[in-house]
Chains A and B, each alone.
Chain A
Amino acid sequence: MFEVIIAIGTILLVVILLTLFRIGTLVNVVKGTDKKVVGSSNRINAALMIVFMLSGLGFFFWYSFTYFDKYTIPVASVHGADIDTTFWITTAITAFVFVLTNILLFVFSFKYQHKEGSRATFFPDNVKLEILWTVVPAIVLATLVFTGLRAWNNITAPASEDAEVIEVMGYQFAWAVRYPGVQDNQLGDYDFRLINDKEGNLFGMDVTDENSYDDFVPLEMHVPKGKEVLLNIRARDVLHSVFIPHFRLKMDAVPGMPTHFKFTATKSTEEMRSELGDPEFDYFITCTEICGRGHFSMKLKVIVEEPEDYEAWKAAQPTWLKLNSDYLEKVPADKRELAIIKAGIDKEELEASL
């Protein structure tokens, strides 16, 4: 019943609008206004230009200043601060040009609206003016390129030798992280053909490589504050992209082509929680490259802690081999002893289980 009423109402409304339109057209024909090149609507449109400009700019400034804290997210990495600086310099310049040129556009439209008997100025070109507005933008852009390049080169420069290496791998639809382990501090080899989800080998770890014995695969990512971290990023099915908004960090994860991103966190999770006044806050990785059904749900918690806490956490992590001791059988016989030691496996327990 309700739908029928809505339908009838809509039809009535359309009929009324059509009738009004028809009446308007006929009135125009009778009055002869439709023959005029420029009618009275010209003035209304010109005035609306100014109304639109004022209200538009009003909303722009009001929202940009009132809700500044809402749409900016705090930065928590060294290079992130550089990115923010570059961003705000660029924004200041573009906002100025945005306001200026839009004002000129709407004010000119209003001011030079058609006037009966007046004539436009024949002004086909002016070399000086044109050179001016070619050169000025070129100079401004050159400065922006320069600041941007400096930041970019710093961000993409090779990581230092003693950076903490962490591997991040994207798959449908989650992130997994792997640490090189406290014994050798080297990530073990991997091969995508060794991946076996059922047996727990998410990364395709190659247990013939000694470096893999002490690697560990925690369920969340921990990062030391104030120390450079190098992310080795890869994907095993489709493209993903590591995005940690608070670190201003983004890099695609590509199957078959490892990528890298280095950063230094500047605020621990605790510090960020008190800065935001939100005891629940956590840093996170999310995905910014469309990867299928669960694209929007690839979230991994990231915890930034003081270096000593970080070391302690690392030392307390059980190695992957320990958690997946079935894989010991695949370790070459001559390395099995080493593997048991490096993986921190309790020998007696192992024998008992066998």
Chain B
Amino acid sequence: MATADIHITEETHHDGHEHDHDHHGNFWTTYVFSTDHKMIAKQFLITGIFWALVGGTLSVIFRLQLGFPEAQLDWLKPILGGWITPEGKLDPEFYLALVTMHGTIMVFFVLTAGLSGTFANFLIPLQIGARDMASGFMNMLSYWFFFVSSVIMLVSLFIETGPASGGWVIYPPLSALPQAVNGSGLGMTLWLVAMALFIVSSLLGGINYISTVINLRTKGMSFAKLPLSIWALFLTAVIGLLSFPVLFAAALLLIFDRSFGTSFYLSDIYINGEALPNQGGSPILFQHLFWFLGHPEVYIVLLPALGITSEVIATNSRKPIFGYKAMVGSILFIAILSFVVWAHHMFVSGMNPFLGSVFMLLTLIIAVPSAVKVFNYLTTLWRGNIRFTPAMLFSIGLVSFFISGGLTGIHLGNSAIDIQLHDTYFVVAHFHLVMGSAAFFGMLAGVYHWFPKMFGRMMDAKLGYIHFWLTFVGVYLVFFPMHYIGIAGYPRRYYSFTNYDTFNSFSDLNTLVSVAAILTLVAQIIFIFNFFYSMYRGRKASANPWQSNTLEWTTPVNPGHGNWPGEIPTVYRWPYDYSKPGAKEDYIPQHIPFSMTPESNLPHENDMIKLEGDGTKVVVDEKK
């Protein structure tokens, strides 16, 4: 009952503002506790950028250790204090903490919240033609849970025993026993609390994204006319909704083991001169639960980036995305398969080898829809009329990373080969390219592309080009050499390789990687400057600067609360009518009816003209 009332008041509220769409809120309701999806998207974006800088800086610190093992790091003492040993070296336990927090921050806080949070919030209502999310209030809660989670995670970096340091996968018993590593004390507790809040945030957001896409599409916006970005964000939310609760369960059982003496994951343990009473638990159980989220998480990170890329590549090639149905089909297929491949992370965990065979088969199947996506991107570029906007450059970069990193997945998905490569730098190279860098590039492409809609101004293109080329070359220089290091057998998460003759031959490549990592991080300052400078001083944007077809470009330059000042436009066609033969312009936006474009209609589209009229009538009848 109460919800219904609120709904009605909101409706009238919007009507009242139809001609004066400036939302007169004070500072707090406009910028802080906003329920406007666009503001929430910006909140997620800025928080995501902050976390990306933190995560990137952490990685540079441990790259210093790996690239320059002999270097004196005394100069870091003012920042890191006791984590620099008296000899001027990085503390080995802090090294593990850095690796752990870098992974956690990048995977969850940057590439899940920063990417999905930003673009699902921003694009879903704008591209499907809705005034806002299904529940603006839940949406606001989603951000603030994320914010609290962020604060707790950030605090954990500064406590005396250090943040969690059992790897981002937090495998017990290491993560369950403070005796095993200092980070498993308070640091791990804060990690678990932060992640629990994070999951709440992502579920609140996900439910909203799903219900908005299903219920609030504008007239004519059938699922078959949805932009691929929405398809990707929609299915991402579905994946998240199904898998995050499993991580929550895993974390909860771990909390029980840590604090209440249960033995879900613990058995037969003797540590620090003492045999623990726990018996009957299984560390493997945790791995199954963790990767039941952990693997879909890869696609939670990647799919939105692929969706954004589809949009950007089609717009800037001035061509329809090739094989729209196949693209939707492959996202759907990937989404389903993502739930049945998790144990390929566990080939050598000691689980039954037969499971290994099954998961190897399922894992390699997932390469097929991925290959289809790549070929479709390539064909979209073929005979296009390509405009290299910064967003387009980052999208092309994404496709390159997706190819280069995806192919090594065929090695790792093969359980026999994985015996040798598991937990070596080969894995690090693989996932940083295919999911880390690709998703990161998707995020940057999205920012460059939708910045004009977010802030009404353009980002500087030339700075964008410089940013792209430095980052693109930098990322390849960081991660490509790691393949060789991995084939040579170097295990990951090693503080130092100096006591192994076999692992002591790549100090040159390791130095190269570290230098490239530092330069890549520094190059991001160009982006940060461009982003904040353009927000206030950038060139004023036009309503549709990229001459794109999707609905968000039919809003005013600075859309107010409710997005469209008048009626929400009706959708008549798919979003990819670029360079249609016969058309005057090389793009026809989705809200242009076929009756207005007789010169370019295909035969079956001429038949649709009749339905256009009927369609309005039917809807009018329904309203009565």
Chain A residues engaging chain B, CB cutoff 8 angstroms: 21, 24-25, 29, 34, 37-39, 41-42, 44-46, 48-49, 52, 56, 60, 63-64, 67, 70-73, 80, 82-83, 86-87, 90-91, 93-94, 97-98, 101-102, 104-106, 108-109, 112-115, 118-126, 129-130, 133-134, 137-138, 141, 144-145, 148-149, 151-153, 155-156, 172, 192-193, 195, 197-198, 204, 233, 236-239, 241, 243, 245-246, 248-252, 254-257, 259, 278, 280-281, 284, 286-297, 299
Q: How far is the CA of A246 from the CA of B597 in the complex (A)?
A: 68
Check B497 against A119 for contact (C-beta < 8 Å): no
Nearest-Cβ distance from residue A65 to partner chain B, whole angstroms: 12
Known pairs A90-B411, A94-B411, A292-B96; A67 contacts B268 (CB<8 A): no
Nearest-Cβ distance from residue B175 to partner chain A, whole angstroms: 9
Check B92 against A290 for contact (C-beta < 8 Å): no
B residues less than 8 Å from A294 (CB atoms): 92
A residues less than 8 Å from B365 (CB atoms): 141
* Closest 9 pairs (CB-CB, A-B): A256-B267, A156-B353, A259-B350, A245-B489, A151-B416, A45-B388, A256-B268, A148-B414, A120-B579
Write out, one digit per residue, whether chain B residues 490-512 have a CB within 8 A of any chain A CB (1) or not (0): 01111111011110011000000
Nearest-Cβ distance from residue A237 to partner chain B, whole angstroms: 4
Check B500 against A284 for contact (C-beta < 8 Å): yes
Partner of A145, one of B323, B348, B361: B361
Partner of A137, one of B322, B368, B415: B368
B residues less than 8 Å from A123 (CB atoms): 319-320, 322, 379, 382-383
Check A86 against B417 for contact (C-beta < 8 Å): yes
Q: How far is the CA of A145 from the CA of B365 in the complex (A)?
A: 9
Check B393 against A45 for contact (C-beta < 8 Å): yes
Nearest-Cβ distance from residue B231 to partner chain A, whole angstroms: 16
Interface centre among B92, B378, B396, B488 (most CB of A within 10 A): B378
Nearest-Cβ distance from residue A217 to partner chain B, whole angstroms: 16
Check B96 against A295 for contact (C-beta < 8 Å): yes
Check A63 against B484 for contact (C-beta < 8 Å): yes
Partner of A109, one of B180, B375, B396, B403: B396
Known pairs A42-B387, A250-B348, A296-B496; A83 contacts B417 (CB<8 A): yes
Q: A130-B323, A172-B271 are in contact. List 6 more A-B contacts (CB 8 A).
A: A94-B410, A112-B381, A278-B501, A287-B491, A291-B174, A296-B92
| B360 contacts the other chain (CB 8 A) | yes
A residues less than 8 Å from B501 (CB atoms): 278, 280-281
Known pairs A41-B465, A86-B414, A94-B411; A239 contacts B173 (CB<8 A): yes
Write out, one digit per residue, whether chain B residues 451-483 have a CB within 8 A of any chain A CB (1) or not (0): 000000000111101000100110010001000
Nearest-Cβ distance from residue A7 to partner chain B, whole angstroms: 14
| B220 contacts the other chain (CB 8 A) | no
Check B417 against A290 for contact (C-beta < 8 Å): no
Write out, one digit per residue, whether chain B residues 265-303 have a CB within 8 A of any chain A CB (1) or not (0): 011111101010001111110000000000000000000
Check A255 against B267 for contact (C-beta < 8 Å): yes
Known pairs A192-B269, A296-B92; A284 contacts B502 (CB<8 A): yes
- In the complex formed, the residue of B with least CB distance to A260 is B350
Nearest-Cβ distance from residue A170 to partner chain B, whole angstroms: 12
Q: How far is the CA of A91 from the CA of B426 in the complex (A)?
A: 13
Check A251 against B488 for contact (C-beta < 8 Å): no
Q: How far is the CA of A126 from the CA of B379 in the complex (A)?
A: 10
Partner of B416, one of A39, A102, A155: A155
Q: How far is the CA of A116 from the CA of B411 in the complex (A)?
A: 44
- In the complex formed, the residue of B with least CB distance to A156 is B353
Q: How far is the CA of A133 from the CA of B132 in the complex (A)?
A: 40
Check A113 against B386 for contact (C-beta < 8 Å): yes
Q: How far is the CA of A60 from the CA of B174 in the complex (A)?
A: 39
Partner of A83, one of B353, B393, B420, B473: B420
Q: How far is the CA of A73 from the CA of B367 in the complex (A)?
A: 28
Partner of A133, one of B271, B360, B371: B371
Ordered by A's residue number, 28 sampled pairs between the chains whose C-beta atoms are within 8 Å are A25-B460, A34-B539, A37-B547, A41-B465, A46-B386, A90-B410, A105-B381, A108-B381, A115-B385, A118-B385, A120-B383, A123-B382, A124-B322, A124-B323, A133-B371, A137-B367, A137-B372, A141-B368, A145-B360, A149-B416, A237-B270, A238-B177, A241-B423, A255-B173, A256-B269, A288-B492, A292-B174, A296-B499
| B364 contacts the other chain (CB 8 A) | yes
Write out, one digit per residue, whether chain B residues 580-591 have a CB within 8 A of any chain A CB (1) or not (0): 110000100000
Known pairs A45-B388, A83-B416; A192 contacts B268 (CB<8 A): yes
Q: How far is the CA of A80 from the CA of B396 in the complex (A)?
A: 38
Check B579 against A290 for contact (C-beta < 8 Å): no
Nearest-Cβ distance from residue A70 to partner chain B, whole angstroms: 6
Check B325 against A125 for contact (C-beta < 8 Å): yes
Nearest-Cβ distance from residue B226 to partner chain A, whole angstroms: 16
Q: How far is the CA of A255 from the CA of B286 in the complex (A)?
A: 13
Q: How far is the CA of A285 from the CA of B419 in the complex (A)?
A: 14
Q: How far is the CA of A72 from the CA of B284 in the complex (A)?
A: 32
| B93 contacts the other chain (CB 8 A) | yes
| B578 contacts the other chain (CB 8 A) | yes
Nearest-Cβ distance from residue A51 to partner chain B, whole angstroms: 10
Check A102 against B283 for contact (C-beta < 8 Å): no
Nearest-Cβ distance from residue B602 to partner chain A, whole angstroms: 10
A residues less than 8 Å from B323 (CB atoms): 124-126, 130
Nearest-Cβ distance from residue B583 to partner chain A, whole angstroms: 9
- In the complex formed, the residue of A with least CB distance to B485 is A71
B residues less than 8 Å from A82 (CB atoms): 416
A residues less than 8 Å from B349 (CB atoms): 252, 254
| B400 contacts the other chain (CB 8 A) | yes
Check A119 against B367 for contact (C-beta < 8 Å): no
Q: How far is the CA of A67 from the CA of B360 in the complex (A)?
A: 31
Q: How far is the CA of A113 from the CA of B317 in the complex (A)?
A: 8
| B155 contacts the other chain (CB 8 A) | no
Check B400 against A297 for contact (C-beta < 8 Å): no
| B528 contacts the other chain (CB 8 A) | no
Q: How far is the CA of A291 from the CA of B387 in the complex (A)?
A: 50
Q: How far is the CA of A249 from the CA of B579 in the complex (A)?
A: 56
Interface centre among A195, A280, A289 (most CB of B within 10 A): A289
Check A121 against B579 for contact (C-beta < 8 Å): yes
Check A72 against B491 for contact (C-beta < 8 Å): no
Q: How far is the CA of A152 from the CA of B420 in the complex (A)?
A: 12
Partner of B350, one of A121, A138, A149, A252: A252
A residues less than 8 Å from B462 (CB atoms): 24, 41
A residues less than 8 Å from B319 (CB atoms): 120-123
Check A290 against B407 for contact (C-beta < 8 Å): no
Q: How far is the CA of A66 from the CA of B547 in the complex (A)?
A: 48
- In the complex formed, the residue of B with least CB distance to A296 is B494
A residues less than 8 Å from B502 (CB atoms): 73, 245-246, 284
Nearest-Cβ distance from residue B621 to partner chain A, whole angstroms: 34
Partner of B378, one of A64, A101, A193, A238: A101
Known pairs A49-B396, A102-B403, A256-B282; A130 contacts B326 (CB<8 A): yes
Nearest-Cβ distance from residue B363 to partner chain A, whole angstroms: 9
Check B484 against A71 for contact (C-beta < 8 Å): yes
Check B385 against A148 for contact (C-beta < 8 Å): no
- In the complex formed, the residue of A with least CB distance to B586 is A119
Check A299 against B403 for contact (C-beta < 8 Å): no
| B374 contacts the other chain (CB 8 A) | yes
A residues less than 8 Å from B382 (CB atoms): 108, 112, 121, 123
Nearest-Cβ distance from residue B359 to partner chain A, whole angstroms: 11
Check A257 against B385 for contact (C-beta < 8 Å): no
Nearest-Cβ distance from residue B482 to partner chain A, whole angstroms: 11
A residues less than 8 Å from B322 (CB atoms): 123-126
Nearest-Cβ distance from residue A238 to partner chain B, whole angstroms: 4
Check A137 against B371 for contact (C-beta < 8 Å): yes
Q: How far is the CA of A56 from the CA of B480 in the complex (A)?
A: 10
Nearest-Cβ distance from residue A326 to partner chain B, whole angstroms: 18
A residues less than 8 Å from B167 (CB atoms): 290
Check B96 against A293 for contact (C-beta < 8 Å): yes
Nearest-Cβ distance from residue A208 to partner chain B, whole angstroms: 17
